Structure 1
């Protein structure tokens, strides 16, 4: 692993995995609503949210999914990685105070293009709440050395 650039494509192997965990706070939800403009009452109004099938407030799906981005950027492949695509399904709610763990696993590598396909799973405890797949461009020692 390159400390400044994460794992280069040359260092990655199918099956490698990493995770990132974050507790979703009230402040996270309110700040995300402000930053995104998504002020859906299911996220910010407890009285309304109690009338929904969830029975209370839930975090924004994309706030939950942002832990995937943190796992990719900070852990695997790490710094220098560029997101190309993300496919995901939201399969369960996340409530204020829940700790979300995003796990990324290398599924496929295209070394000549410095591309990796990663399985992406977010869980709260043993329950999957987001599942999907990301395509990223990684750093490459060969590309860095060719430019020196």
Structure 2
């Protein structure tokens, strides 16, 4: 099934405002160690279980930017509904509010907050929560542009 696409200024596109897209996944060792290898961020808090236990954590934690990256598939679901190319202009107010230990299931939520037809921008809120507790682990504002 193909997702219908709409011009940014259309009533159909405007109906995206307030809509939330969500997905869950378990943050696995492969995810964290692959991300560490790709980025070069091999800090002990991501790679050394015993180190983290000795510092009051339940184990190694995921990179905050990896959690942000998980929301990318949700922004794509929004962009895929807009006619033409939509690109990310970046993120504002990114906050990592709680650590996520490897093996934790998270739920990412992506809510369209505003569509500015003059600037051709889509402003959305990205939130990542720990599924078992509902604790917020990440919040950010994402800005995309229809080009």
TM-score, normalization by structure 1: 0.81
Structure 1 CA distance for aligned equivalents of residues 48 and 109 of structure 2: 30
Q: Is 1:107 aligned to residue 113 of structure 2?
A: yes
Check 1:116–1:30 CA distance in 2 against 1; reply closer, same or farther (3 A cut). Answer: same
Structure 1 contact 68–104 (Cα < 8 Å) conserved: yes
How far is the alpha carbon of 1:110 from its aligned partner? 0.7
How far is the alpha carbon of 1:138 from its aligned partner? 3.3
How far is the alpha carbon of 1:118 from its aligned partner? 0.4
Structure 2 contact 36–42 (Cα < 8 Å) conserved: yes
4+ residue segments displaced more than 6 Å: none
Structure 1 contact 7–76 (Cα < 8 Å) conserved: no
Structure 1: tracts of 5 or more residues without a match:
140-148
Structure 1 contact 8–77 (Cα < 8 Å) conserved: no
Correspondence 1:21-100 to 2 at 5 A? 21-73=24-76, 75-78=77-80, 80-87=85-92, 88-100=94-106
Query: How many residues matched?
Result: 136
Structure 2 CA distance for aligned equivalents of residues 35 and 43 of structure 1: 13
Aligned CA RMSD, in angstroms, stands at 2.1
Structure 2: tracts of 5 or more residues without a match:
none
